[in-house]
Amino acid sequence: EAAVTQSPRSKVAVTGGKVTLSCHQTNNHDYMYWYRQDTGHGLRLIHYSYVADSTEKGDIPDGYKASRPSQENFSLILELASLSQTAVYFCASLGLGGRAEQFFGPGTRLTVL
């Protein structure tokens, strides 16, 4: 069973603070993604990665950094958290071939106060 886990599952941060969201996959997938979901809206792509030690910007990268230290791990970093970054963040992984399906983690609910 493909698995993507995220930590923490919920976090409250202060404006201007640093936040790190972590994602771990055991799918042996090369591709990993970070999306954000705002209340009542679809998901938007923040960053993604093809391979360890390399990341790419998605559609809304401003205010976020990403880090892919290994194939299994992909982090999203908010250096200076802002109120507008309150959202649910989803990580996903993708292995090419086969069903070509992105597997999503359960999400991290981030509240910035």
Partner 1 sequence: AQSVTQPDARVTVSEGASLQLRCKYSYSATPYLFWYVQYPRQGLQMLLKYYSGDPVVQGVNGFEAEFSKSDSSFHLRKASVHWSDSAVYFCAVSYNYAQGLTFGLGTRVSVFP
Residues that bind partner 1 (CB under 8 A): 4, 31, 33, 35, 40-45, 48, 50, 56, 58-59, 90, 92, 94, 96, 99-102, 104-107
| Cα gap 96→105, rounded to integer Å | 18
Closer residue to partner 1 (CB): 31 or 72: 31
Give me the least distance between CB of 15 and partner 1, in Å please. Answer: 26
Q: Which two tokens stand for residue 56?
A: 């790419």
Give me the least distance between CB of 16 and partner 1, in Å please. Answer: 29
| Cα gap 40→110, rounded to integer Å | 15
Closer residue to partner 1 (CB): 13 or 104: 104
Is the distance from CB of 90 to CB of 59 less than 8 angstroms? no
Closer residue to partner 1 (CB): 84 or 99: 99
Residues in contact with 20: Cβ distance below 8 Å, sequence separation at least 6, in sequence order: 75, 76, 77, 78
